[in-house]
Chain A
Amino acid sequence: MIELKNVSRRFGDTVAVDGVNLTIETGEVCVLVGSSGCGKSTTLRMINRLLPHSAGEILVDGEDITTMNPEQLRLNMGYVIQGTGLFPHWTVARNIAMVPRLLNWPRERIDARVDELMTLLDLDPSAHANKYPQQLSGGQAQRVGVARALAADPNILLMDEPFGALDAITRENLQLEMLRIQKQVRKTTVFVTHDIDEALKLATRIAVMDQGRIIQHDTPENILRHPASDFVENLIGKQDRGLKLMSLRPVRDLMANHTEPRQSEPGEHVLREEDSIRLALSVMLWQDLRQVAVFNAQGQETGVITRERIIQEGV
Chain B
Amino acid sequence: MGLFSRRKTVYVDSDVLVVGGGMAGCGATYESRYWGRDKKVVVVEKANIERSGAVAQGLYAINCYMGMQWGENQPEDHVRYARNDLMGLVREDLGYDIARHVDATVHMFEEWGLPIMKDPETGRYQRDNVLMETGWATMPGSEDANRAVAKACLEVLAAKF
A binds B: no
Q: Residues of B at under 8 Å CB distance from A?
A: none
